Amino acid sequence: MIDLHMHSMFSDGSMTPEELIAEAATLGLKGVALTDHDSVAGIPRFLEAAQAAGVPAIAGVEVSADIEVGTLHVLGYGVDYTNREFLEHLRWIREGRNSRNQEMLQKLNRLGLRLTIDDVQRHAGADVVARPHFAQALIAKGYVKDKREAFERYLAKGKPGYAERRRLNPEATMELLRMAGGLPVIAHPFTLKRTVKEMKPLLAHLKQFGLAGVEVYYSEHNRSWERSYLKLCKEFGLIATGGSDFHGTISPGIKMGKGIGTLNVPDEVWEALQQELTRS
C-alpha cells in the first residue's frame, strides 16, 4: 500500500512532515510523497524523517492551473526543491493566494460573517493560508458545522465567498514542473468535469508539454472511474498514480493510505513512478 498525495502543516494539512512519516511507518506504507500546495518547504524534513524511519519517500508538490472548465490541480513528483527558479515561481503563486485571501475575507464579511485574517491564520500552518483554513475559522466561529458545509455554502467555486487567484495556464504548469525535474501528473481528474471522451484531447495536448501521468486511484474515485482513467493512461502512454489526499484532522474522513476506507493504491504504481523518474 502506498500514498502519493498528502499534505502537511506547510500547506493545508494538520500534521508536521515528521508526523506524516510516523503515521506512514505505523501503517507499513511502501512509498509516500508529500505534495503540499504551492510549497516545498516541508520536503527536507519529510525526506529526512523518511530516511530515518526507513520509509521510501519522494519530493512532491501540488500546483493549481488556470483552466476554463472544472478544476485542474497538477502533482509534481521528484521535483528539485532547491531549484531557485522553481522556488521563485512558487513564491509568485503564493503571493497571489495572499491577495485572494483578502478578497475572500471581504466577501465573507459582507455576508455578515465576522472573520479577521488572524482568525484564519490561527488555523494555518507554516507556509500557505488556503480555503480549508477559512473553513476551520468558520467552524470555530459557529457559522458552519464542518468543512463540507463551509465549502458548499461559501468557499467553493461559484459560491459567495469564493475568489479567484493567480495561476499559470496548464501548459506553463507542465513546463514549470518539468523545468524543476519533476513529473507532472493530473490530480483527482474527476474535478476536471469532463467525460472520458472529453478528456482525450486535453491529455493529448498536455502530453506535448510534459504531462507524465494521471492520478487514477483517489479517495473519491469509484471503481468505474478507476477503470476509465487507467484505460486512458494506457491509451496515451501515461503513468497511473494514486493517493488519498490526506490532510489530517482538517479532513477527518480521509485516512492515510486508505482514503475513505476503500482506497488501495497498488504497489506497482510506486515501481512505475520510480522507473519514469529514472528515465527522466
What CATH code is carried by the domain that includes residue 186?
Answer: 3.20.20.140
My answer on whether 184 and 261 are in the same domain is: yes
My answer on whether 174 and 250 are in the same domain is: yes
Measure CA 196 to chain center: 22
In a domain, 274, yes or no: yes
My answer on whether 33 and 129 are in the same domain is: no
| pLDDT for 125 | 67
My answer on whether 33 and 122 are in the same domain is: no
My answer on whether 176 and 257 are in the same domain is: yes
My answer on whether 101 and 74 are in the same domain is: no
Tell me: the pLDDT tens digits for 58-105? 999 999 999 988 899 999 999 999 999 999 999 988 887 778 888 889
d(C-alpha 148, C-alpha 42), whole Å: 26
My answer on whether 126 and 197 are in the same domain is: no
| pLDDT for 154 | 94
Average the pLDDT over each of 21-30, 67-76, 118-127 and give the range with the smallest value. Answer: 118-127
In a domain, 161, yes or no: no
| pLDDT for 36 | 96
In a domain, 59, yes or no: yes
| pLDDT for 126 | 64
* Number of domains observed in the structure of the chain: 2
Q: Among 111, 132, 155, which residue terminates a domain?
A: 155
In a domain, 252, yes or no: yes
In a domain, 227, yes or no: yes
- DSSP secondary structure of the chain: --B--B--TTTT-SS-HHHHHHHHHHHT-S-EEE--BT--TTHHHHHHHHHHHT--EEEEEEEEE--SSS-EEEEEES--TT-HHHHHHHHHHHHHHHHHHHHHHHHHHHTT----HHHHHTT--SS---HHHHHHHHHHTTS-SSHHHHIIIIISTTSTT------B-HHHHHHHHHHTT-EEEE-SGGGG---HHHHHHHHHHHHTTT--EEEEEETT--HHHHHHHHHHHHHHT-EEEEE--B-GGGSTT-BTTTBTTT----HHHHHHHHHHHHH-
In a domain, 193, yes or no: yes
Measure CA 7 to chain center: 7
If you search the block for the grid coordinates 500557505, which residue do you land on? 128
Q: Among 155, 188, 205, which residue terminates a domain?
A: 155
My answer on whether 222 and 271 are in the same domain is: yes
My answer on whether 234 and 96 are in the same domain is: no
My answer on whether 273 and 188 are in the same domain is: yes
Domain that holds residue 35: 17-81+169-279
Tell me what the pLDDT averaged over the chain comes to.
Answer: 93
**CATH number of the structural domain spanning residue 150:** 1.10.150.650
My answer on whether 194 and 258 are in the same domain is: yes
Q: Among 114, 131, 155, which residue terminates a domain?
A: 155
What 3-state DSSP class applies to 61? strand
In a domain, 198, yes or no: yes
In a domain, 10, yes or no: no
My answer on whether 191 and 247 are in the same domain is: yes
What 3-state DSSP class applies to 255? strand
